[in-house]
Amino acid sequence: MKIEFKVALIGGGASGLGAACARMISEAGGYVAIADVDAARGAAEAERLANETLFVRTDVTQAESVEAAVAATVERFGRLDILINCAGIAPPQRLIGKDGSPMPLEAFARVIAVNLTGSFNMARVAAAAMAKNTPDESGERGVIVNTSSIAAYEGQIGQIAYAASKAGIAGMTLPMARDLARHGVRVMTIAPGIFDTPLLAGLPEEARTSLAAGVPFPAALGQPAQFAALARHIIENAYLNGEVIRLDAALRMGPK
């Protein structure tokens, strides 16, 4: 799919990986709708981009909120061609705390709700809008790019909820692609390694340097623009479908 003149909805597009994807789409000549719960950052990011970028405050865990975001996107631009799901949280917590108490069920459920259910929620509504598009010369109507993590495969200590949520995203990639094949909508997932995003911004520089040193090659934190570059290739390569791509510079995480 050529990005120029296409319309992309970016979940979690106010910062980090999502913001990088929003910039990539805009620079490639596409139209962008940013869906994020952070109204201040989302509005500011929309102002920085060209092509009448739209911001819609969106809670990905709520059906009505996502439905409103997709409706607003279609109303503004007339269609929806691309969805990139980047909204996510990663609060660390062990199954049993230092005081011997179990991890609260609500804490686990919250991570699943935002990361996994939120991605599904965005995909289901966006796919229904894409299915109404007139197919291009290859029969394609839309592309969905989800975000998993290498934690789905090598979850570390304290990452049980995050790893479970990201494993769920990886696991729904193929059946989602198969479900949407008849509608001409492709589904792919990126599983990034350690990226320089707001999730890591609060760490001391020493900790960030240590994390980067553990990456085989290049020994550096991934940059959001590198994630966006892969998302662009997925969008533009029509034969990529139903697969999870690790973007981790050969990193395999240890227990902690």
For residue 199, pLDDT over 90 is answered with no
Is 153 among the residues known to form the active site? no
Identify the pLDDT of residue 202.
67
Identify the pLDDT of residue 190.
98
Given the residues 31, 153, 162, 239, select the one marked as catalytic: 162
Q: What are the tens digits of pLDDT across the range 111-157?
A: 999 999 999 999 999 999 999 999 999 999 999 999 999 999 999 99
Cis peptide leading into 218, omega within 30 of 0?
yes
Sorted by where each begins, the domain ranges of the chain are 7-245
> Could you give phi then psi for residue 154, rounded to 5 degrees?
-130, 60
Q: What are the tens digits of pLDDT across the range 75-116?
A: 999 999 999 999 999 999 999 999 999 999 999 999 999 999
Identify the pLDDT of residue 104.
97
Q: Are strands 31-36 and 54-57 parallel, antiparallel or unpaired?
A: parallel
140: tokens are 């394609």
> What pTM was computed for the model?
0.96
For residue 211, the one-letter residue type is L
Identify the pLDDT of residue 116.
98
Q: CATH topology for 7-245?
A: Rossmann fold (3.40.50)
